[in-house]
Structure 1
Amino acid sequence: MKNKSSKVPPVLSCNFEDYRSDVCEIYSNVRIHGNSSSIFFTPDQTMDLEENKTRTIKPYTRKYDNYAIANVRTVTINPLHTSTEAPKCNKYHYITAIVFSKGTYSGKNFFHDFSDVLVPLFITARQFEGEVQILMADLKPVWIEKYRKYFNQISNYEIIDFNKENQVHCYPRAIVGLYSHGDFTVDPLRTPNNYSMVDLAKLMRRAYSLERDFAINLAEDSKTKPRLLIIARNQTRKLINVGEVVALGEELGFEVAVNESSFRTNVGEFARMVNSFDVILGVHGAGLSNEVFLPTNAVVIQIIPLGNLHWISFNYFGLGATNMKLKYVQYCISEEESTLTDLYRRDHAVFRDPGSFHSQGWGAMSKIYLDQQNVKLNITRFKPVLTRALELLGYKNYVTWPDLSFCDN
């Protein structure tokens, strides 16, 4: 069998076909001048005219979002046809460079931080085991400090502010753009060394010195109460009767706490708090991104509001949870549990035809189902969800529920 490791990669390899992001990899005398958004390389003499041309790329993982991508810095990749064209190197590096943009949405909530940058950067950079340098466009220093411990796990070197850097940095290899496999997930079949969401979770535990690797096993420890964290929201999609949910959890034997996942929260402190719980529960929203800090085998309960939000909810948080070896349960509310009944008649399209709002685009859909809607759980209807969580933690006194989804479809 042919040894794949002996294959010499092309000097320039670009993928502009992926739905989520454009990525170019350069394996040749790379010179980067951030302030002018220019990257230069020496082309292979065997490259044809189509390959040997200037390319432009917006290195952000939401290229399908016209609004988001419009605000991202454009990077130009230029082949050098003669040695005299090459800008003089001010600094030489013997590691790989990764150039990407913080993007438009990162810095607005936890979900976009992870989905748009932190997970894709893990996919792209983890293979180098720290021997890689980040050159970040559209950088915000406060945002970098927020996730400093994460970045220190990814790279052993300082982060360069791409927009402001006037010196020419030279590298043997560069990756422009970040690979992305979905909104909040890693496909191990597409990563070097088969890195997965489990590996990302382990990296987060190291970064933030999280103590627990595994959730409680009630089959082995029946004396300790399992801990339930309710992620509260204070603006949209609020859980109105959170007090009743707390009482239900305590009745079933949980130690219950309620905490709002504010974007201003210190990441390290919140990560350590989340890691101390065995179950987190929340209405669909960015706060569920904190599932990445849970110990293995913990349970994630996502409450899905009205509006045909099953796919969005699972894709954003359910898929990542299962891929991190967490137990995932979803609960779809009934019309009676939605405050939309206070705003619209039951025969309104809001209830009878949610697809008509989805077809108008994200803005129309989110205005109704994400921004106007709060949740008041029917405690009797919801009780089996928490008993299912106990089962998943090893408690055997309840009947086995047939599915992890408490939804009609």
Structure 2
Amino acid sequence: MEKEPRKLVFRATPWIFLLVLPLLYIDILWGNNIQFEQRFHYTSSSPPISSTRKAIIREPVEEKHESLDSLLSRLVKGEDQEKLKATGFACNSEVYSIHCVSNRPVRVDTRTMTVTIASNQSVRETVIRPYARQEDEVLLKRVTPVKILQGNTTLPVCQYNHEFPAVIFSSSGFVGNVFHEINEILIPLFITTRLFKSRVAFILEDYNPSFLRKYGKALSGLTSYEIINPSANQSVHCFPGAVVGLKFHGHLALNSSDIPGGLSMREFRKFLRESMNLKYSHVSQIKTPTVMLLSRRSTRRILNEDELVAMMEELGFRVLVVARAKVISNLNLFASLINSCSVFVGAHGAGLTNELFLPDGAVMVQVDLIGLEWAAATYYGNPARAMGVHYLRYKIEPEESSLLKVFGRRDHTYITDPRALPVQAGKEVYLNGQNARINITRFRETMVEAMSLVRYSPL
């Protein structure tokens, strides 16, 4: 039960009250000044602070006075950083991603998605599609381009003025697939904007209401302001700086040594737990070892799920079998459900992205099907280790795969060397044409190891 706030009662004589009153006035002024300073988002240069006040406020004051220019400069490196300093505009372009940064005032016309940056130079035009994965040309065609004009050009009249920077990105691409949504939008958005500590405006191109409903809690942890929908807004916004596009570190990855620097997958998972109000941070907090079996209903099905469930229950696990699309598509519900589990089991597929919501020390068991070894490791196995989650790989034998009936023998080239098939044909065979009947005795060994890991997982 919360205590009532203490009330200040004066029981002194009037002359003592006269001595105390000025001190109270100073204290109130001081408190108001601190609150006043906290309303400022960024400063280009900070006034000196007395040593007395430094001792009282300490590090938070220095953090609040970090300039916007300094924050934006972290998003580029090397020559691009020098270019940003000299011209006020630079783009960081790599194999998989591109994002452009301006540390000078910008005007964003949402009617045409044109960003204008004034300077004394001749006009230069840059066009980018603000999506993290740039190597997939087919995917990029779904993303609306943004035109950036820098130079001595006519500036549109500001209709809205903001004291914080803008970040422009798209919710197009492979929206509807949880792996691509988190891999190419949510994680890159965290990488690009976390340093602004929610004092940043999002302009969401290709505005998708279902994406907002699904990831609203996470997005609200990155911005304190209403997300701008260009197609509905149709106006000119002025910002002190802007970022167009998102930084990408790799598949389900955050690289602490890459720009903007210092971010890790563990920090991202902590952010998810906090923004989505997930209950468990470590597997030791879960009293009854619980397994979630992700059941597929189309391809890559586990044909003897009932036997699997019976075996896991014999080992002492409580087993949840989740197959309904309605549950899986409700991210808030599904994340909370997975967060309450000690072990997550499933065949290779986008649903395994939800390993992100497991508590630290939990176990992810991937049923590794024939022909999917590289994808299984790259997309889910290696990232799991970086998350602080134990990863166990159950590699099926040819006898466990439905492909043995298709190709007739276990030494067939397409079973022993899946790379022999052309890419598109391989996708149809290994991703869309394969199911598995698990060897319960072999899989039991994997689950025994999983039980051991969750029971003795150190904090």
Secondary structure class of the residue paired with 1:365: helix
Which structure's relative contact order is higher, taking Cα pairs within 8 Å and 6+ residues apart? 1
Per-residue deviation, residues 235-294 of structure 1 (Å, max 9, x unmatched): 111111111111111122211111126266321111111111111011011111111111
Is the Cα–Cα contact under 8 Å of residues 133 and 248 in structure 2 kept in the other structure?
no
**Distance (whole Å) between structure 2 residues aligned to residue 258 and residue 191 of structure 1:** 40
Aligned to 1:291: 355
Per-residue deviation, residues 72-108 of structure 1 (Å, max 9, x unmatched): 11111101305xx1111110111111111112202x2
The equivalent position to 1:206 in structure 2, one of 270, 274, 277, is 274
Letter of the structure 2 residue corresponding to residue 69 of structure 1:
L
Is the Cα–Cα contact under 8 Å of residues 126 and 149 in structure 2 kept in the other structure?
yes
Is the Cα–Cα contact under 8 Å of residues 413 and 420 in structure 2 kept in the other structure?
yes
Secondary structure class of the residue paired with 1:189: coil
Letter of the structure 1 residue corresponding to residue 452 of structure 2:
E
Aligned to 1:242: 305
Is the Cα–Cα contact under 8 Å of residues 31 and 89 in structure 1 kept in the other structure?
yes
Letter of the structure 2 residue corresponding to residue 32 of structure 1:
V
The equivalent position to 2:426 in structure 1, one of 356, 365, 374, is 365
TM-score (norm 2): 0.77
Distance 1:395 1:324, change over 3 A: closer
Summarize the alignment of residues 169-184 of structure 1 with structure 2, pairs less than 5 Å apart. Answer: 169-184=237-252
**Distance (whole Å) between structure 2 residues aligned to residue 391 and residue 318 of structure 1:** 19
Per-residue deviation, residues 150-180 of structure 1 (Å, max 9, x unmatched): 1111111111113443211111111111001
The equivalent position to 2:332 in structure 1, one of 259, 265, 268, is 268
**Distance (whole Å) between structure 1 residues aligned to residue 111 and residue 436 of structure 2:** 48
1:316 aligns with 2:379: yes
Aligned to 1:27: 103
**Distance (whole Å) between structure 2 residues aligned to residue 191 and residue 376 of structure 1:** 44
The equivalent position to 1:12 in structure 2, one of 89, 95, 116, is 89
**Distance (whole Å) between structure 2 residues aligned to residue 214 and residue 322 of structure 1:** 15
1:306 aligns with 2:370: yes
**Distance (whole Å) between structure 2 residues aligned to residue 164 and residue 21 of structure 1:** 27
**Distance (whole Å) between structure 1 residues aligned to residue 232 and residue 420 of structure 2:** 46
How much has 1:191 moved relative to structure 2?
A: 4.3
Greater mean alpha carbon deviation, residues 200-209 or residues 260-269: 260-269
**Distance (whole Å) between structure 2 residues aligned to residue 272 and residue 101 of structure 1:** 27
Is the Cα–Cα contact under 8 Å of residues 280 and 299 in structure 1 kept in the other structure?
yes
Is the Cα–Cα contact under 8 Å of residues 233 and 261 in structure 1 kept in the other structure?
no
Aligned to 2:52: none
Distance 1:147 1:191, change over 3 A: same
Larger Rg over CA atoms: 2
Per-residue deviation, residues 340-373 of structure 1 (Å, max 9, x unmatched): 122222254421331122xx33x32211101011
Aligned to 2:170: 101
Is the Cα–Cα contact under 8 Å of residues 124 and 151 in structure 2 kept in the other structure?
no
**Distance (whole Å) between structure 2 residues aligned to residue 230 and residue 325 of structure 1:** 20
Aligned length, in residue pairs: 375
Distance 1:248 1:395, change over 3 A: farther
Aligned to 1:404: none
Aligned to 2:158: 89
Aligned to 1:405: none
Secondary structure class of the residue paired with 1:280: strand
How much has 1:193 moved relative to structure 2?
A: 5.5
How much has 1:337 moved relative to structure 2?
A: 0.9
1:39 aligns with 2:115: yes
**Distance (whole Å) between structure 2 residues aligned to residue 252 and residue 294 of structure 1:** 21
Q: Which runs of 5+ in 2 are unaligned?
A: 1-68, 74-81
Distance 1:278 1:191, change over 3 A: farther
How much has 1:226 moved relative to structure 2?
A: 1.0
Aligned to 1:401: none
Secondary structure class of the residue paired with 1:236: coil
Identity in percent: 34
Letter of the structure 2 residue corresponding to residue 215 of structure 1:
V
Is the Cα–Cα contact under 8 Å of residues 96 and 132 in structure 2 kept in the other structure?
yes
Secondary structure class of the residue paired with 2:385: helix
Aligned to 1:60: 131
Secondary structure class of the residue paired with 2:237: strand
TM-score (norm 1): 0.87
Secondary structure class of the residue paired with 2:407: coil
Summarize the alignment of residues 65-84 of structure 1 with structure 2, pairs less than 5 Å apart. Answer: 65-82=136-153
The equivalent position to 1:150 in structure 2, one of 218, 223, 226, is 218
Secondary structure class of the residue paired with 1:192: coil
Letter of the structure 2 residue corresponding to residue 333 of structure 1:
I
How much has 1:200 moved relative to structure 2?
A: 1.2
How much has 1:34 moved relative to structure 2?
A: 2.0
**Structure 1 or 2: more helix by fraction:** 2
Is the Cα–Cα contact under 8 Å of residues 236 and 370 in structure 1 kept in the other structure?
yes
Letter of the structure 1 residue corresponding to residue 353 of structure 2:
S
Greater mean alpha carbon deviation, residues 185-194 or residues 59-68: 185-194
**Distance (whole Å) between structure 2 residues aligned to residue 340 and residue 19 of structure 1:** 35
Aligned to 1:277: 341
Aligned to 1:400: none
